[in-house]
A and B are shown apart, each in its own frame.
Chain A
């Protein structure tokens, strides 16, 4: 039994123009505890819709989402129970902050879960801790923080629910390199510490290459590929045809292959590439 499984999910928006456009068509995949899955696809490929289907914000037209084997829409009145288990961090989540203090904002979800005051306290503190903000931030107004700090507070607001599945829609969009690294590390740490499953939507091939074990490739609402990261990136043609690309490092390796170097080696992250190249130079393989 998978932690979270989507089976033949389909969904379409009824636009005012009465043109029915399928946003998600017949998508099936599953996630296990401790896995990090990347979802990539061109703009309008249905990524955001799929994420909202997964945590029950949208109801699928056909197909179903199973959390720990249970269809989340079996009892529509209990849907919020699943939303707490399957935490969804929207794109630009800092725009949802509303409370007077960071503490109160992070406590919003735990309060909705009707937890005890003591438990709420614990959760807010641990959430602040896991996004790398110290307790001094708790009494500040979220509107006085910097962009990166706001983003972290907003993510902490979801982490405080202790979700078993954490879904993030473009968590690094609009952040500087340092902010990106901080957020990606936070996500990795959350997985290590809790064993949660992570689903991360991203436009950055570098990010997903560095973070994800598996990738789900979407195009026009359909799942084109669902496979291990290196297997997906080896299908260069398919990626290009669906408006995607390889990580820059991988493209350098492709060029090296054409020139006859490092034929049997491939890297998708800068760290891997560095290791391979340094090793090869030491081994003399790169001497012309």
Chain B
């Protein structure tokens, strides 16, 4: 059933990572990505792996969910690894077979690149697993708010509002689609058989009512918002104020210490 599709990846759990301010999580994510790209030896990346693994465990999100993410991009990881292994010609020759020569440096590079991609996936997933879509849009709005000083006064608010509404209506529209599909099937529509062209044509009886329903809902929502005196972002306050707490400062301090350690390791390790 369509209803079973879940949107967003939020996993409910009671962990310190879940409770962090989403703005801090987004900023830290960016910093982690930058540092993972800066480091360039296997030692540092191994150290980063251990640290990020610890954070992952701290988040109480089931490890198999991360495994699923990694599995999804496994072809890219393998492709990158093979490419690196083949093209880096440093160090001793390890494998020689027909025209293929793989050197020590190549293997080293392949492992390094694979780890780097896997870490990127894990920390990005960590953000979406531990923050609700609404929290993320609120955070983005808040982070982009300085843009109002360069003439984009309402734009940030409107963008964030659009994102929130879109996220809010995905489950509603899925339910609506389900209902329309059922009623067309009751009139004998065959939605899942026939050639590609037939299938596309068979979708029209679903798409047209869905489109008209969406437009109707948009009007209704606009009326409902106006009748509650909505008039844009200016002067609006939030029910849930985002404030930095001790947890957030600790997260920042721990991360900064980690970054420093990473840089030291990267500079002095051989």
**Residues of chain A at the chain B interface (Cβ within 8 Å):** 13-16, 52, 55, 57, 80, 83-84, 87-88, 90, 93, 95-98, 108-109, 112-113, 143, 157-158, 161
The answer, among A88, A95, A112, A158, for a CB contact under 8 Å with B190, is: A112
Known contacts A98-B204, A98-B205, A90 near B186 by CB under 8 Å: yes
The answer, among B3, B5, B187, B189, for a CB contact under 8 Å with A161, is: B187
Contact assessment for B209 and A83 in the assembled complex, using a CB-CB cutoff below 8 Å: no
Contact assessment for A109 and B187 in the assembled complex, using a CB-CB cutoff below 8 Å: yes
24 example contacts (A-B, Cβ-Cβ < 8 A) are as follows A13-B3, A14-B1, A15-B3, A16-B3, A16-B5, A52-B182, A57-B185, A80-B188, A83-B185, A83-B188, A95-B212, A96-B180, A96-B183, A96-B209, A98-B204, A98-B205, A98-B208, A108-B189, A109-B187, A112-B188, A112-B189, A112-B190, A143-B212, A157-B187
Contact assessment for A161 and B180 in the assembled complex, using a CB-CB cutoff below 8 Å: no
Contact assessment for A87 and B186 in the assembled complex, using a CB-CB cutoff below 8 Å: yes
> Is B40 interfacial (CB-CB < 8 Å)?
no
Known contacts A80-B190, A108-B205, A96 near B184 by CB under 8 Å: yes
Contact assessment for A16 and B186 in the assembled complex, using a CB-CB cutoff below 8 Å: no
With A52-B182, A57-B182 given, name 7 new contacts (CB 8 A): A55-B186, A88-B186, A90-B182, A95-B180, A97-B209, A108-B205, A112-B188
Q: In the assembled complex, which residues on chain B have CB atoms less than 8 Å from the CB atom of A13? A: 1, 3
How near does chain A come to B171, taking the closest CB pair, in angstroms?
10
Contact assessment for A90 and B179 in the assembled complex, using a CB-CB cutoff below 8 Å: yes
B 106-149 contacts with A by CB, 8 A = none
**Residues of chain B at the chain A interface (Cβ within 8 Å):** 1, 3-6, 179-180, 182-190, 204-205, 208-209, 212-213
In Å, the complex CA distance between A109 and B204 comes to 14
Q: B206 — nearest CB in chain A belongs to which residue?
A: A98
In Å, the complex CA distance between A120 and B182 comes to 23
Contact assessment for A98 and B182 in the assembled complex, using a CB-CB cutoff below 8 Å: no
Contact assessment for A14 and B4 in the assembled complex, using a CB-CB cutoff below 8 Å: yes
Known contacts A16-B6, A57-B182, A90-B179, A95 near B209 by CB under 8 Å: yes
Q: In the assembled complex, which residues on chain A have CB atoms less than 8 Å from the CB atom of B5? A: 16
Contact assessment for A95 and B205 in the assembled complex, using a CB-CB cutoff below 8 Å: no
Q: In the assembled complex, which residues on chain A have CB atoms less than 8 Å from the CB atom of B188? A: 80, 83-84, 108-109, 112-113, 161
Q: Is the interface of B mostly helix, strand, loop or mixed?
A: helix
Contact assessment for B183 and A90 in the assembled complex, using a CB-CB cutoff below 8 Å: yes
How near does chain A come to B116, taking the closest CB pair, in angstroms?
33
In Å, the complex CA distance between A16 and B204 comes to 28
In Å, the complex CA distance between A112 and B189 comes to 6
The answer, among B185, B189, B213, for a CB contact under 8 Å with A95, is: B213
Q: In the assembled complex, which residues on chain B have CB atoms less than 8 Å from the CB atom of A88? A: 183, 186
Q: In the assembled complex, which residues on chain A have CB atoms less than 8 Å from the CB atom of B209? A: 95-98
Known contacts A57-B182, A90-B179, A157-B187, A16 near B4 by CB under 8 Å: yes
In Å, the complex CA distance between A147 and B225 comes to 24
In Å, the complex CA distance between A89 and B179 comes to 12
Contact assessment for A57 and B187 in the assembled complex, using a CB-CB cutoff below 8 Å: no
In Å, the complex CA distance between A55 and B6 comes to 28
How near does chain A come to B72, taking the closest CB pair, in angstroms?
19
How near does chain A come to B132, taking the closest CB pair, in angstroms?
15
Q: In the assembled complex, which residues on chain A have CB atoms less than 8 Å from the CB atom of B212? A: 95, 143
Q: In the assembled complex, which residues on chain B have CB atoms less than 8 Å from the CB atom of A97? A: 209
Q: In the assembled complex, which residues on chain B have CB atoms less than 8 Å from the CB atom of A109? A: 187-188
Q: In the assembled complex, which residues on chain B have CB atoms less than 8 Å from the CB atom of A98? A: 204-205, 208-209
Q: In the assembled complex, which residues on chain B have CB atoms less than 8 Å from the CB atom of A87? A: 186
Q: A58 — nearest CB in chain B belongs to which residue?
A: B182
Q: In the assembled complex, which residues on chain B have CB atoms less than 8 Å from the CB atom of A80? A: 188, 190
In Å, the complex CA distance between A58 and B182 comes to 9
Count chain A CB atoms within 10 A of each CB in B4, B187, B213 and give the residue with the most. B187
In Å, the complex CA distance between A90 and B175 comes to 14
Q: B176 — nearest CB in chain A belongs to which residue?
A: A95
In Å, the complex CA distance between A113 and B5 comes to 32
Q: A108 — nearest CB in chain B belongs to which residue?
A: B187
Q: In the assembled complex, which residues on chain B have CB atoms less than 8 Å from the CB atom of A16? A: 3-6
Contact assessment for A57 and B186 in the assembled complex, using a CB-CB cutoff below 8 Å: yes
Q: A111 — nearest CB in chain B belongs to which residue?
A: B188
Q: In the assembled complex, which residues on chain A have CB atoms less than 8 Å from the CB atom of B186? A: 55, 57, 83, 87-88, 90, 158
Q: In the assembled complex, which residues on chain A have CB atoms less than 8 Å from the CB atom of B204? A: 98
Q: B182 — nearest CB in chain A belongs to which residue?
A: A57
Q: B208 — nearest CB in chain A belongs to which residue?
A: A98
Q: A143 — nearest CB in chain B belongs to which residue?
A: B212
In Å, the complex CA distance between A95 and B175 comes to 13
Count chain A CB atoms within 10 A of each CB in B179, B183, B212 and give the residue with the most. B183
How near does chain A come to B199, taking the closest CB pair, in angstroms?
15
Contact assessment for B187 and A112 in the assembled complex, using a CB-CB cutoff below 8 Å: yes
In Å, the complex CA distance between A57 and B186 comes to 7
Q: A52 — nearest CB in chain B belongs to which residue?
A: B182
The answer, among B1, B182, B187, for a CB contact under 8 Å with A158, is: B187
Q: In the assembled complex, which residues on chain B have CB atoms less than 8 Å from the CB atom of A161? A: 187-188
How near does chain B come to A9, taking the closest CB pair, in angstroms?
17
